[in-house]
Chain A
Amino acid sequence: MLRLILERLVQMVIVVFVVTLAAFTLVNLLSGDIAVYLLGDHATPEAVAALHAQLHLDDPIIIRYFDWLGDVLQGNLGTSVVSHYPVVKSLTNAIPPTFELMIGAQIVGITLAVVTTAAAIKWRWTDRLVTGVALLVNSIPTFVVALILIIIFSTTLHLLPSIGWVAPTSAGGWGKNIVAMIMPSVALGLGIFPEYMRILRSDIREQLDREEYVTLAWMKGLRPTRIFGKHVAPNSVGGFISMIATTTALLISGVVIVEQVFAIPGIGKMMLAAIDSHDTPVLLGGLLTIVTFVVIINLVGELIYMRIDPRVRATRVTA
C-alpha cells in the first residue's frame, strides 16, 4: 500500500511536470507578444523592449519555465500581468466555487445514475426508457442544457435563480449558496450521468448474467433484494468509485462551460479570462491547480477502490 502511494506520488510529480512544461511552451508560443498586447498597438519599440526585459520574455522558453517552476516550488505563482494581483490569491478565491460545483455535479450525476440503473435492471420497459433518455441527454451539449435549464426554471417558472455564485459567508448564508448552485450542478451532472449509468448498468447486467456467485446466491434461496444488496451491488461499488475519480478529469471541460454560462467566478472562468488577456501566470496557475487536483483525485479513487475491494487488495498484497 505504502509502496503504491510512493509510486503514484512519483508518477504525479512527473505528470505535473510534463503537463506544465507543455502548457508553458504552448502558451508562450501561441499567445503572441504579451508586451505588445499589454502596451497596445501604438507602443514605442523602447517601451516594448523594456517590458520584455522586465518579464524576461527574451530568455529561452526552457529557462523561463524553470524560473517559473523555481518560484512555484517556493509557493509563489507570480502575479497577474494584467491586474498585478497575486495568482495565489485569485486561486484561493476561485477554488471554492469550482470545488462546490464539481461536488454538486457529482451528487447529481451519481444519484441519477443509481436511480436510472435501478430502473434499468428492474423492468425491460424502464430499461428502454432510461437508456433512451440517457442517450438523448448525452447528445445535447452542456451549454445547451444549461440554457434550457435557465429558460425553464429561471426565466419562465421563476423557481431558481441564475445568479452565479453566492459565498456562504454572505448575507444569504448556505441556503442562498446552495439554491444558486442547483442549476449549475444539474447542468454539469446531466453531462456525466449517462456515462455513469452506462458503466454501472453494464457492470450489474454482466454480474447478473455471468457471475456464478450470483447463481450460487440464487441457489441458496435468498430473496432477490438480498441477492442484489449483498452479492451484486458490493461488487460494483469499487469499480464505480474509481470510475468517478477518472471522470473528474473529463468534468473539467464542462466546468469551464458551466462557469461561463452561469457567471460563476471559478477556476474555469478565471482561466478563460486569462486566455483572453494573455495573462500567462494566471493561466499557468489555474492549470497547475487542475492538473494537481486531477492527479490527486485519481490516487484517492484508486486507494478507496483498493480498500473496499478484497480482490484488488489481495493482488496488491501478493504482487
Chain B
Amino acid sequence: MSDQSQPIVKPQPIVEVEDLWVWLRKRGREIPLVRGLSYTLRPAEALSIVGESGAGKSIGVRAALGLLDPRLFRVTGSSKLVGTDVLALTAKERARYVPSVAALVFQDPGRSLNPTMRVGDQIAEAFLKGSGYEPGMTRAKAEARALQLMKDVRIAAAEERFKAYPNQLSGGMKQRVVIAIAVACKPQVLFCDEPTSSLDVTTQAAIMDLIGELRDQTGIATVTITHDLALAASRARKVIVMYGGQVVEALPARLVATESAMPYTTALIEAVPDIDGNGTPPTPIEGMPPDPANLPSGCSFHPRCRFAQDDCLTNTPELRVVAPAHELRCFHPVKDLELQEASR
C-alpha cells in the first residue's frame, strides 16, 4: 500500500506488517486464522481494520505484537515495529522491546484491569516499573504523573478514583484508565481492539475522540479494530477490510463511501445504517462468516456474494492494486459491474 497523498519524503514507517500468517494448532492440524496480512503505518497515521466477528482482526493484531502463545499458534511473516521485526526476537527480547514501542487497548475494559490493584497504582506502575520509566523516577513522581494522566483522559474526580479498584468504575472509566496506562508507556503506535464495542454510544464517541486527540497531540500512530465500517471511515485515514483471515480490500478512508468495490465491503456499507447518506434502510449480510477450519474453495466470500460467478468458485483471487492506495481481492468488483451495466 502506498498512499500518494503523502509528501514525497515520507517519515520512516512505525509499523510494517508483511505477509503475516497465523495458524492455530489443533489436534495435529494447523488451521489458518490470518492469511497474509500486510500493512504499513507512519507516525500520526490512523488505520482501521474492519470485518465481521471471526475475521481474524484480533488474532492479527496480537500476532503483530508477538503476543500469541507459540504452543497454540504458529506465526510466519514479519512484523516490524519501529524497524525491528518483533517476530524474529526471542521471547525475552520481545518482552522488553514491544512494550517500549507499542501499546494495546482491549475490547473489554471489564477484563483488562487487574481487579486486585488500585487503578492509580496500575497507571503509576507503568512509570515506576514499566516502559514509562525514566532515570530519577520516584514513587511520588510516578503517582503525580499517573494522576495527571487520569485528568488528561478526562476521568472526573481523579483524586478519588486514583484509589478506586476497577470494579468501582464504569466501563467507560475503565477504558480511560487502560488508555492512560497505554499513554504512560509512551508508545509510538497504539493498537485498539474494538475499544468501544462494550460501551454505550456517547461513551464510544468520547473514547474515539480521546484516541484521536492523542494522535494529534503526540504523533502516535493508531491501529483501531472495529465492526463498524462507518466508524472506521470517519475516524481513520486508511481502512482495511478483512474477511476469513484475509485482507479483501484496502483503501483510503475518505473513499470508502464512494469507491469501495469488493462486494463484501459494499455489503458492509449496506449493513450499516446510512453511511452512504441516501437513506436506504440497512440490509444485513446474509449467511455466516467462513469457518477457518473449513474454508470455501476459490474466493472465501463467494457463498455469500450476490455477484459470484463460476470462476469465483474455482479460482482464488489475489490482492491487486486497482487505483492509487486502493487494493482489492475480487474478480468482479462492484464498480466494474456498474460500468458494464451502464455501457449496456
User: Could you tell me which A residues sit within 8 Å of B by CB distance?
Assistant: 209, 211-213, 215-224, 226, 230-231, 234-235, 238, 308-311, 314-315
Contacts and interface: CB of A to CB of B under 8 A. Distances in A.
A311 B111 CA distance: 12
Contact of B104 (A215, A223, A226, A235): A215
Contacts, number: 87
B280 interface: no
B199 to A, nearest CB: 16
A128 to B, nearest CB: 14
A220 B111 contact: no
Nearest to B94: A218
A314 B108 CA distance: 19
B167 A310 contact: yes
B185 interface: yes
Contacts of B113: 213, 216
B131 A310 contact: no
A315 B104 CA distance: 28
Contacts of B65: 219
Given A219-B103, A221-B95, A310-B165, 6 more contacts: A216-B104, A216-B114, A219-B67, A221-B99, A310-B115, A310-B167
A309 B167 CA distance: 11
B185 A212 contact: no
A219 B125 contact: no
Contacts of A234: 114, 116-117
Contact of B99 (A218, A231, A238, A308): A218
A209 B72 CA distance: 10
A115 B130 CA distance: 28
Point out which of A211, A217, A221 has the most chain B C-beta atoms below 10 A from its C-beta.
A221
Interface string B121-139: 0000110011110000000
A11 to B, nearest CB: 26
Interface in B179-208: 181-182, 184-185
Contacts of A235: 114-116
B181 A218 contact: no
B112 A212 contact: yes
B76 interface: no
A212 B106 contact: yes
A168 B178 CA distance: 55
A221 B131 contact: yes
A292 B165 CA distance: 35
Contact of A220 (B106, B115, B125, B168): B125
B130 A221 contact: yes
B310 interface: no
Which DSSP category, helix, strand, loop or mixed, fits chain B's interface? Answer: mixed
B67 A217 contact: no
B117 A230 contact: yes
Contacts of B182: 219
A220 B130 contact: yes
Point out which of B115, B126, B167 has the most chain A C-beta atoms below 10 A from its C-beta.
B115
Contacts of B129: 220, 222-223, 226
Contact of A218 (B95, B115, B167): B95
Nearest to B62: A215
B96 interface: yes
Contact of B130 (A222, A309, A311): A222
B185 A221 contact: yes
Contact of B114 (A209, A217, A224, A315): A217
8 nearest A-B residue pairs (beta carbon): A221-B99, A221-B131, A220-B130, A310-B165, A212-B112, A234-B116, A221-B130, A213-B114
A276 B317 CA distance: 84
Contact of B67 (A218, A220, A226, A238): A218
Contacts of A314: 165, 167-168
Nearest to B67: A215
A209 B68 CA distance: 10
B100 interface: yes
A215 to B, nearest CB: 6
A147 B102 CA distance: 59
Contacts of B181: 216, 220
Contacts of A311: 115-116, 167
A226 B95 CA distance: 13
Contact of A221 (B96, B116, B117, B178): B96
B98 interface: yes
A231 B181 CA distance: 15
A216 B130 contact: no
Nearest to A237: B116
B131 A220 contact: yes
20 contacts: A212-B106, A213-B113, A216-B112, A216-B178, A217-B114, A218-B99, A219-B65, A219-B67, A219-B98, A219-B99, A219-B103, A220-B99, A220-B126, A220-B132, A221-B130, A222-B125, A230-B114, A310-B165, A311-B116, A311-B167
Nearest to B126: A220
